[in-house]
Amino acid sequence: MKFTKLNFNLFTAIAAVSASSIVGFGQNATGGIGGDEYHVNTYKEFRDALNNNGNPNGPKIIYIDSPINGRILDDGTVMTAEGLVPGFNFQKYIDCFIDDGYTWSNTEECNKIEELRKQGVPLQGKQTNVNITPNTIIIGNDDDAIIEEVNFQVKNISNVIIKNLYMESPNDLFPYWEPNDGAQGTWFPEYDSITIRNSTNVWIDNCYFTNGKKTVDKAPLAFGRYVELHDGVIDIVVQSDDITISNNRFENHKKALLIGNSDSRTTDRDSLKVTIHNNVFINCNERLPRVRYGRVHIFNNYYYAETFNPVYKSLTVDNYYHSDNVFPCYFIGIGVESNILSEYNSFNYIGDDKILPADDILVYSYGGYIFHDNGSEFNGQSYDLDAVAKKSFELKVKNKLDQINVSGGKIPFWVNATFTSETFEPTEFYNYNAMKNLDDVNDLINKVPFWMFDNESDDETNEIINVSDIEVEDDQDSENEEVTSTLFN
């Protein structure tokens, strides 16, 4: 690992590490300007660089020069579930659920397997989670800046910039199954790519986030569905504030951006101010973002999803589900006391003859009632997103009251709220210039993140996905062949 002392002034340092200036709530992030520069090639070197020679709070710039895989231990061996907890076997854990996954076999053997699974959780976390230190810039150096099986923990700190990285989502070796969560049961995996918790002044820019080679269909099959080994991409929680997410590509992932992680966390009311702009979302099923409490500005983003995708199929209440007790797919989720302004986004949702698209993909209410859109398009046409949001909120109120009438319980305060399109005004916090020509927003798919493309307009591999140009084959909804997972071998 190499490092040298840098003495950049503010202007020079920002120019050196960024292709664009910071726009939005994260505008005051400066990262590690004026600090030491590190070039790292291994996970150990990366963690050592964050320690900054015994001064972890001091400014630092860390260049990622080579691929880093968090499952590679310091001795060169590969982390596995069985290696961490001898005697644990994930297939045995699955087999301990009977009645199509709804009942746990309360046997001595199964209870022992569950005990071993719980023992493995902190052991994997110690390896997978890496605590980012304050006053840090982490920047990818060329195409080798690949991060796998690592969860960046931006926790209880301030002033972090993360740029130019290819990040494959980490896989949980010890996820657990909750058969009574939702109508169909739910898998609960740990580990995001980036978790921002009680932290401020953070900028995430020009990164590519994906499940990579370990897509959902590579996981084991259980109870008629694939085991979920990935959690979210970026979680922004627990009074985090002043954050910008810009110029990133999110592709082939179920859950992307969570802002606020509990309806009961009322201490988030004056926090969670986030700007999300110039990002591309392709075949991500939900949380683009999903918001509680925060004031969130979402502008000039490109969205694309399909009803027929064989792995990341996007299905909503209107075109598939017929119950409120489900987890539908959606682009923007408005939750308790969220305040969301959407501007000049391009939303694209493609169906086939068997499952048509539906406009409720645009906005889904989890009890949220403050939302407004300016100038966005749905499948290339101007659209009233406010009406979609209002309809979703009113349906949520009706379903909640129906549920209380049947099962009892306390009526939440939002049931008596009135939907409003009077949102906060971003210019009270920062200046910005939105692209009002949606052709420019659509072209983000050819440009974001910038290091993925050579900017040659005639490159056939970089052509924009146009709704009108897509032809759907009759067999596109066919099931994938079962793939044996190597995660637990």
Interatomic CA distance for residues 265 and 400, integer angstroms: 20
Strands 2-5 and 36-40: antiparallel
Q: Provide the CA 398 distance to its chain's centre, in angstroms.
A: 29
Q: Assign residue 307 a region: left if phi > 0, alpha if psi is -120 to 50, beta otherwise?
A: alpha
Task: Enumerate helices (H) and strands (E) in the chain, giving the number of each.
Answer: 7, 35
CB 445 within 8 A of CB 469: no
Q: Which residues contact 428 (CB under 8 A, 6 or more apart)?
A: none
For the question of residue 249 being annotated catalytic, the response is no
Question: Exactly one of 71, 249, 287, 290 is catalytic; which is it?
Answer: 287
Q: What Rg, from alpha-carbon coordinates, does the chain have?
A: 22
Q: Residue 255: which of 194, 182, 346, 319 has the closest Cα?
A: 194
Long-range contacts of 480-487 (CB under 8 A, 24+ apart): 480/217, 480/310, 480/311, 482/221, 483/217, 483/218, 484/220, 485/218, 485/219, 485/220, 485/227, 487/81, 487/90, 487/171, 487/173, 487/214, 487/219, 487/229
Q: Residue 112: which of 138, 93, 130 has the closest Cα?
A: 93
CB 338 within 8 A of CB 370: yes
Q: Residue 127: which of 45, 63, 199, 71 has the closest Cα?
A: 71
The C-alpha angle 344, 348, 354, rounded to 5 degrees, equals 155
Count of all residues that appear for the chain in the document: 489
Distances (CA, A) of 412 to 336, 396, 401, 418: 10, 12, 10, 13
Strands 146-148 and 68-69: parallel
Q: What is the DSSP letter of 471?
A: -
CA dihedral 191, 151, 14, 248 (to 10 degrees): -40
Q: Assign residue 298 a region: left if phi > 0, alpha if psi is -120 to 50, beta otherwise?
A: beta
Interatomic CA distance for residues 44 and 36, integer angstroms: 17
Helix, strand, or coil here: 356? Answer: coil
Please identify every residue annotated as catalytic.
Answer: 287
